[in-house]
Structure 1
Amino acid sequence: MTKFDRILASSPGRSGGHTERAWPERVSVTTRARLHFGFFDPSGQGSQPFGSFGLGLDRPVTKLSLRRAESLAVRGPESERAGTYLTELARHCGRDAALDLEIESAIPSHSGLGSGTQLALAVGTAYARLEGLNLTPEEIASVLQRGRRSGIGIGTFTQGGAVIDSGPQDGGLPAMLARADFPEEWRVLLIFDPGCKGLHGSGELEAFATAPAFPDAEAARLKQRALEIAFPALSERRFDTFCEAIGHLQSVMGLYFAPYQGGPLVSEKVSAAVHWLRDEGYDGVGQSSWGPTGYALLPSAAEAERLFSEAESRPAFAGLRFEIARGCNTGASIECV
């Protein structure tokens, strides 16, 4: 009997000696994208490898529903990857995957917004709730091999907000070091290049395998800057200070990863938009993770609307798509019916 079988067998309503209870017929999970501002040790070779800083957003959204069925059926965007996560989790728990999984919407894949981790955690959480398994997001991530370098996606799935993680700990997942609400009045202008994909798969693995060591002293400075400058600026609503800290981290990441992604940003079109925003005086700009999605942090809805309209009207940005997002200070929503 596996650990998960023991949990299931001891659950009320699933064995003869327990009180009957109504198990859900359907579980729906909604989770959201995240920005990844960067690593403190991007090489992963230092005394405190990786360690990262990111932010939960209110969009784009992954939304799915899971129910029991006669056989496995998966439909909707990202269905192949979602089906793989579902069958792998069922296999690990020693159970059949006779389930119907419907994906209503999905964060774009390989866009730098954490689509894979959010999809895995959403599928895993829905499965655990439907089957009465007491699985944490961290346990789901471990089974499905997510969050091995960065814990930002796990942190935003569970609690939202701005989060800093420790990097992998003794071969395990990163621990959350700090978490703060993102000010309600601030906004994020997202910059999408639908014709470009960020580095992923074998390309990503090769980049990390061949990247040079990053100085421990510089990694410590980046971490200190995030914890002692950026995080207090959030609670004190010092927008310029927060943006300067993010802009500095992004500049370091861009230079370090440029040889592997063709420049500081992977998309030339997004790069042009980010340079324009910098020229306009915005410091909190950059590329999320491997991109290609770029972003600009903005102090108000009015400022975001103004920049959105101007960006949309510029012929130089033809082919790009812009969207205004908020920070999301709550984790994923789960509905059982």
Structure 2
Amino acid sequence: MSAEFAPSNVEIFAPARLHLGFLDLGSGLGRRFGSLGVTIAGFGTRLQLRPAASLQVAGPARLETLVRRLMAALALPPADITLVEEIPVHAGLGSGTQLALAVGMGLARLHGRPLTPRQVAVAAGRGARSGIGIAAFEQGGFLVDGGRGKNSATPPLLSRLPVPESWRWLLIFDPDFRGLHGECERQAFRQLPRYPRERAAAACHRLLMQGLPALAEADFDAFSETLGWIQRANGDYFAPAQGGRYTSRRVAEALKCLEAQGWRGLGQSSWGPTGFCLFPDPESAAFEARKLAASLGDCGLRFEVVASRNHGADWRL
């Protein structure tokens, strides 16, 4: 799009995602990380942008810091930017990446600049380990990336499949905890031991020969089994850094209750504290959410049922 045809204003919605686990944290074959995730409905970051002679930002201070960084890195003119809604911060839903992509791509659309989400991600310092948030913005659906090699700018997308429309995710929120981020997250990765190569091989084998075929054939049970296995392997590995398989003990209790009922596709998104459980239909997800709320009492947790989102960011010009 040339500047001659740039729109007079832009509204952009960047969807949240669940990070469902890493495949190889030890770079046994020369690539590190590799991850899987899913784009979800119900949560997102929405920005409104209008032309302006000087920068005007309606939102938290970190938003203006991010805008100035991207303007400088990508040579973008200023704008009047309003944050309308935002993904919960440091909850494991990808708030930082989606905000950066919404800002950078919103400015690019507003000023008619032909930038890509991956160019914006590099300028913002996003995608250092996982490419799931970038791919969620680009395409949505269930996503697998190939991790980082020595020449990777961002992790390449290897697989993208739609999630059956009837499946639902029960999200379990603990507002009293925040997942590791920033320097604490980087320090945790530095201190953790090398990921066992055998476990990485098993995760890749399960995903390729069980999880992805199951999703392609809408086999709920087989897909849930793969997801649960990878989550347990990741949770046990990260336990020394986050105090157990899950960051929040209350979320852990809720997930234990769901596991006792026979549900297998459950775990924690990224560093949490948000937990999740996959269900085959809205009715069973809502039923289990009500049971948890009743059995756990006034525990401070919040439950929400959401669908998958099989497309990426939305624009309104």
TM-score by length of 1: 0.90
The answer to whether structure 1 residue 26 and structure 2 residue 6 are counterparts is no
User: 1:151·1:176 contact (CA, 8 Å) conserved in 2?
Assistant: yes
Match of 1:83 among 52, 55, 64: 64
Match of 2:33 among 22, 38, 50: 50
2:217 is matched with 236
**CA deviation profile, 1:294-331 (whole Å, cap 9, x unmatched):** 00000111101111211222344620000000000001
Deviation at 1:203, TM superposition (A): 1.2
Deviation at 1:201, TM superposition (A): 1.3
Deviation at 1:216, TM superposition (A): 2.7
Distance of 1:64 and 1:131 partners within structure 2: 15
What code does the residue aligned with 1:158 have? Answer: E
The answer to whether structure 1 residue 217 and structure 2 residue 194 are counterparts is no
CA pair 84-44 structure 1, distance change in 2 beyond 3 A: farther
2:117 is matched with 137
Distance of 2:3 and 2:173 partners within structure 1: 47
SS of alignment partner, residue 74 of structure 1: strand
SS of alignment partner, residue 230 of structure 1: helix
**CA deviation profile, 1:206-247 (whole Å, cap 9, x unmatched):** 111111111333212212211221111112111010000000
Distance of 2:77 and 2:173 partners within structure 1: 39
1:37 is matched with 20
Distance of 1:135 and 1:43 partners within structure 2: 33
Distance of 2:255 and 2:231 partners within structure 1: 12
1:123 is matched with 103
Query: Unaligned 5+ residue runs, structure 2?
Result: none
User: 1:47·1:216 contact (CA, 8 Å) conserved in 2?
Assistant: no
Distance of 2:298 and 2:183 partners within structure 1: 30
Match of 2:89 among 109, 112, 119: 109
Structure 1 residue runs of 4 or more that deviate by more than 6 Å after TM superposition:
none
In percent, how many aligned pairs have the same letter?
43
What code does the residue aligned with 1:289 have? Answer: S
1:283 is matched with 264
Distance of 1:276 and 1:112 partners within structure 2: 21
1:3 is matched with none
SS of alignment partner, residue 224 of structure 1: helix
1:62 is matched with 45
The answer to whether structure 1 residue 260 and structure 2 residue 248 are counterparts is no
SS of alignment partner, residue 219 of structure 1: helix
**CA deviation profile, 1:262-294 (whole Å, cap 9, x unmatched):** 111000110110111101111011100000000
CA pair 112-310 structure 1, distance change in 2 beyond 3 A: same
CA pair 247-75 structure 1, distance change in 2 beyond 3 A: same
Query: Unaligned 5+ residue runs, structure 1?
Result: 1-7, 14-20
SS of alignment partner, residue 304 of structure 2: strand
SS of alignment partner, residue 91 of structure 1: helix
1:17 is matched with none
The answer to whether structure 1 residue 173 and structure 2 residue 154 are counterparts is yes
What code does the residue aligned with 1:48 have? Answer: R
CA pair 131-96 structure 1, distance change in 2 beyond 3 A: closer
TM-score by length of 2: 0.96
